[in-house]
């Protein structure tokens, strides 16, 4: 009697509990069902490893082919046999195998044949038939291991090397053919104690237990993450790609018809066009990716696998998607996934889904799933990446004048400029109305001049009125969180009626929204998310409106100003000679107007404060009674009325207009007398050019009309130019 050593395999998987298997004689391991131990989906060959114990020695035959096997840090050669010891650590595919010592088993060393021989020899009446004698097939090792089912290795790896295996087998003695039917006892004993040649193929197939690792269906969280990921991806496609590809124009009419058919279904009122588009896109993505890779895209990214064949899993996947259309609204059919069981659609389609890899699950849940879920948020940023850049924005303060500067309270109201001004202005400010006729339109503006520098002409002109607020309404609807971040604005802007004004809170929220839309600095994303929300399509849309309205170019600088009545946004563009600023004024009664200001660069600092003061203290146009008899606003409106009404001037209007230009010229000439002689010529040309624009306009009105008063005004202004050019101080009542 002796003790026989048993070896135990401690098999460890990356995603499930370890499995132990005792080797008493032989054990084959691989992904084929014909192996003693069948393990699928862990990068194993059909027949990967073959273990055998012989005379207390454990040997390993590596048959893994292109799938590697390592013993410790050593990569084993294909087709070779190795001696294993207790404590060795094997790595085959994605599993690890630790060699452990099993229990010792007492066994009788006497061969069964020997026992039978002596039992038969002691009974003279027993005849030993030759058919009962044991014989072993003789074959080469390559013939014994040849199995067409496992021939998936390259041709160069099919020549097995049994150099090490032959050391284990005592082949010093060869079998001899028996010449007679009756064998002697000595010959029988020789055959009994001889080491037979090993038929490894028969050893592997014999006693096949077909042990298989249980496949567990995916759980609730994997399915939930897959669902919301594919839903987010579908919404991103509908929200971003459909408008670019103009898909809506082709499918909207068909979806409206589909809505009518679904009116009888409960909760059909929630099936608007967007929901239908997302649902159909979800279904198309699911079916398309299933046909392409055998399962849903998100299932694949989360490590969920299908154990069926290549064609079967595609057919079953499409059937699951179609059944899901009916079962999706009824959650009860998907509840088995909570306990990791197959859902109804998987049961009907006979699908065998499982999630073997914990590594893919980890990557899918913590990396891939968040990226897909957040795709509706960052996709608009990627598509509009050129808009996300830092813009210099300066918030203006109310204009203040120095204490030693004399100020005059003024109130102007101009229908041509669509504004009303009421505030203090410097007494050294000169304002000249300007009207210029073109072929198709009449351009009216004012020229602001500082007595400090007579050549500092600044042109302020009205451009147009824009429907800016109505353009913002649909953009706010794109942000489901607008009612949280801008509650008063969201409420009032959608219920606004003609003549209404925004409340103070709503007006302040509008200002914040515009400021955040102007400067989409990538470094301020954290602040934008915290103070606006993750949905940025409204900011992007408003940014586009402002960019187009104000002609914002790269390197332009913006100014913003707000008081209780208006929001003022200005875009300043600098050239080598001129500084041009375009303003957008938004009032509380939701009227939006555009203005343009142009100033010589060298004189910008003299007049910029005057222009800022003009817009900061202006409101929407309204008729007012001025304390002055006739100011620049009255003059400008009266001149433009000649073309608009096709009527001649009245005597009072003629005298007031001439008087205004006369007083302006007189002040200009008085200041010019204090300038250097070399500068006077330039100053003269500047003013003469501006007044000649008026006389040209008056002459254009006289081409097809006989206006007596207009003709008299034209003659008077030309005489005024002559007296000014000759510096006739007596004519202007200026003492030398």
> At which residue do the structure tokens 């948020």 appear?
377
Label residue 713 by pLDDT band (50, 70, 90).
Answer: very high
Q: What is the pLDDT of residue 186?
A: 53
Q: What is the pLDDT of residue 136?
A: 39
Model confidence pLDDT, tens digit, residues 588-625: 888 899 999 999 888 887 788 889 999 999 888 877 66
Q: What is the pLDDT of residue 310?
A: 87
Q: Which of 189, 282, 191 is nearest to 230 (CA)?
A: 282
Q: Which of 449, 448, 442, 444 is nearest to 461 (CA)?
A: 444
pLDDT above 60 (res 275):
yes
Per-residue DSSP letter, 148: G
Q: What is the pLDDT of residue 153?
A: 43
Q: What is the pLDDT of residue 459?
A: 93
In contact, 24 and 127? CB cutoff 8 Å? no
Give bridge partners of residue 90 from the DSSP assignment: 71, 97
pLDDT above 60 (res 152):
no
Rounded Cα distance between 153 and 136, Å, is 29
Residue count of the chain: 736
Rounded Cα distance between 676 and 697, Å, is 33
In contact, 305 and 356? CB cutoff 8 Å? yes
> At which residue do the structure tokens 């007012």 appear?
624
pLDDT above 80 (res 150):
no
Is CATH 2.60.200.20 what the domain over 2-139+179-212 is classified as, yes or no?
Answer: yes
The residue ranking higher by pLDDT, 148 or 254, is: 254
Report percent pLDDT > 70 for the chain: 82
In the chain, CATH 2.60.200.20 sits at 2-139+179-212
DSSP track, 526-569: HHHHHHH-S--HHHHHHHHHHHHHHT--TT-EEEEEE-SSEEEE
Q: What is the pLDDT of residue 498?
A: 52
> What integer is the mean pLDDT of 196-208?
47
Per-residue DSSP letter, 149: G
Q: What is the pLDDT of residue 290?
A: 92
The answer to which of 49-53, 204-208, 696-700 has the lowest mean pLDDT is: 204-208
pLDDT above 50 (res 156):
no
> What integer is the mean pLDDT of 676-704?
88
In contact, 213 and 29? CB cutoff 8 Å? no
Label residue 446 by pLDDT band (50, 70, 90).
Answer: very high
Per-residue DSSP letter, 73: T
Pairing assessment for the beta strands 26-30 and 37-38 based on DSSP bridges: parallel
Q: Which of 53-67, 116-130, 252-266, 558-572 has the highest mean pLDDT?
A: 558-572
> What integer is the mean pLDDT of 212-235?
84
Model confidence pLDDT, tens digit, residues 29-54: 998 888 988 888 788 888 999 999 98
Model confidence pLDDT, tens digit, residues 161-186: 434 444 444 444 443 444 444 445 55
The residue ranking higher by pLDDT, 202 or 730, is: 730
Q: Which of 45-49, 283-287, 732-736 has the highest mean pLDDT?
A: 283-287
> What integer is the mean pLDDT of 418-439?
87
Label residue 455 by pLDDT band (50, 70, 90).
Answer: confident
CA distances from residue 704 to 75, 245, 441, 692, 698 in whole angstroms, order as listed: 104, 54, 16, 20, 11
Helix (H, G, I), strand (E, B) or coil at 248: helix
pTM: 0.61
DSSP track, 386-424: GG-S--EEEEPPPP---TTS-EEEEEEEETTTTEEEEEE
Exposed, middle or buried by CB within 10 Å (0-12, 13-18, 19+), for 151? exposed
Rounded Cα distance between 538 and 87, Å, is 65
Q: What is the pLDDT of residue 432?
A: 92
> What integer is the mean pLDDT of 682-709?
90
> What integer is the mean pLDDT of 424-444?
86
Q: What is the mean pLDDT of the chain?
A: 81
In contact, 600 and 450? CB cutoff 8 Å? no
The answer to which of 83-97, 380-394, 503-517, 627-641 has the lowest mean pLDDT is: 380-394
Q: What is the pLDDT of residue 510?
A: 94
The residue ranking higher by pLDDT, 126 or 545, is: 545
Q: What is the pLDDT of residue 598?
A: 92
pLDDT above 70 (res 127):
no
In contact, 57 and 50? CB cutoff 8 Å? no
The conformational region for residue 87 under phi > 0 = left, psi -120 to 50 = alpha, else beta, is left
pLDDT above 60 (res 705):
yes
In a 13 Å sphere around the CA of 732, the CA atoms on its Cβ side amount to 27
Model confidence pLDDT, tens digit, residues 291-345: 999 888 999 898 888 878 889 889 999 999 999 888 887 888 888 888 888 888 9
């Amino acid at each position: 009697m002796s003790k026989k050593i048993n070896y135990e395999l401690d098999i460890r998987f990356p995603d499930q509990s370890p499995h132990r298997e005792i080797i008493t004689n032989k054990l084959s391991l691989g992904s084929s069902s014909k192996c003693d131990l069948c393990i699928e989906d862990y990068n194993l060959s059909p027949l990967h490893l073959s273990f055998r114990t012989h005379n207390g020695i454990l040997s390993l035959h590596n048959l893994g082919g292109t799938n590697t096997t390592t013993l410790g840090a050593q990569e084993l050669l294909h087709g070779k046999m190795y001696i294993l010891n207790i404590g060795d650590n094997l790595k085959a595919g994605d599993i690890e195998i630790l060699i452990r010592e099993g229990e010792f088993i007492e066994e009788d060393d006497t061969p069964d044949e020997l026992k039978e021989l002596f039992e038969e020899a002691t009974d003279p009446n027993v005849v030993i038939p030759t058919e009962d004698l044991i014989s072993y097939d003789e074959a080469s090792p390559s013939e014994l291991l040849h199995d067409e089912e496992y021939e998936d290795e390259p041709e160069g790896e099919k020549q097995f090397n049994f150099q090490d295996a032959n050391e284990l087998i005592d082949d010093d003695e060869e079998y001899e053919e028996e010449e007679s039917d009756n064998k002697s006892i000595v010959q029988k004993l020789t055959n009994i104690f001889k080491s037979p040649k090993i038929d490894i193929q028969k050893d592997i197939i014999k006693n096949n237990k077909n042990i298989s690792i249980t496949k567990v269906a995916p759980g609730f969280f994997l399915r939930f993450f897959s669902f919301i990921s594919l839903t987010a991806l579908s919404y991103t496609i509908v929200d971003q790609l459909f408008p670019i590809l103009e898909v809506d124009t082709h499918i909207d009419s068909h979806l409206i018809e589909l809505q009518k058919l679904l009116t009888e279904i409960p909760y059909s009122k929630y099936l608007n066009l967007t929901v239908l588009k997302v649902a159909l896109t979800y279904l198309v993505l699911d079916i398309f990716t299933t046909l392409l890779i055998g399962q849903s895209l998100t299932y694949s990214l989360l490590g969920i696998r299908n154990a069926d064949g290549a064609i079967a899993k595609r057919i079953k996947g499409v059937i699951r998607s179609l059944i899901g259309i009916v079962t999706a609204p009824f959650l009860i059919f998907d509840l088995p996934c909570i306990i990791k069981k197959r859902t109804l659609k998987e049961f009907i389609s006979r699908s065998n889904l499982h999630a073997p890899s914990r590594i893919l699950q980890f990557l899918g849940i913590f990396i891939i799933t968040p990226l897909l879920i957040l795709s509706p948020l960052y996709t608009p940023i990627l598509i509009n990446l050129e808009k996300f850049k830092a813009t210099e924005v300066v918030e203006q303060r109310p204009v203040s004048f120095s204490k030693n500067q004399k100020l005059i309270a003024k109130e102007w109201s101009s229908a041509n400029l669509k504004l009303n001004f009421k505030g203090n202005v410097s007494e050294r400010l000169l304002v000249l109305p300007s009207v210029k006729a073109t072929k198709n339109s009449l351009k009216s503006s004012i020229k602001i001049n500082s007595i400090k520098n007579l050549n500092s002409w600044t042109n302020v002109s009205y451009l147009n009125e824009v429907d800016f607020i109505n353009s913002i309404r649909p953009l706010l609807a794109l942000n489901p969180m607008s009612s949280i971040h801008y509650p008063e604005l969201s409420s009032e802007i959608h219920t606004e009626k003609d003549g209404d004004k925004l409340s103070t809170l709503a007006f302040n929220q509008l200002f914040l929204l515009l400021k955040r839309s102007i400067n989409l600095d990538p470094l301020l994303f954290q602040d934008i998310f915290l103070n606006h929300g993750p949905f940025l399509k409204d900011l992007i849309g408003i940014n586009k409106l402002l960019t187009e309205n104000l002609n914002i170019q790269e390197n332009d600088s913006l100014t913003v100003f707000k008081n209780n009545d208006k929001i003022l946004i200005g875009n300043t563009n600098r050239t080598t000679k001129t500084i041009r600023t375009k303003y957008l004024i938004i009032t509380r009664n939701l009227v939006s107007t555009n203005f343009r200001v142009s100033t010589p660069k060298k004189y910008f600092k003299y007049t910029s404060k005057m222009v800022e003061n003009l817009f900061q203290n202006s409101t929407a146009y309204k008729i007012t009674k001025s304390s002055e008899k006739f100011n620049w606003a009255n003059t400008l409106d009266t001149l433009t009325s000649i073309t608009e009404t096709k009527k001649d001037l009245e005597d009072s209007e003629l005298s007031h207009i001439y008087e205004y230009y006369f007083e302006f010229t007189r002040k200009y000439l008085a200041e010019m007398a204090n300038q250097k002689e070399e500068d006077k010529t330039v100053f003269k040309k500047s003013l003469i050019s501006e007044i000649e624009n008026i006389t040209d306009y008056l002459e254009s009105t006289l081409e097809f009309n006989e206006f007596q008063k207009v003709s008299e005004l034209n003659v008077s202004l030309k005489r005024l130019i002559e007296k000014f050019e000759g510096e006739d101080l007596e004519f202007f009542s200026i003492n030398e």
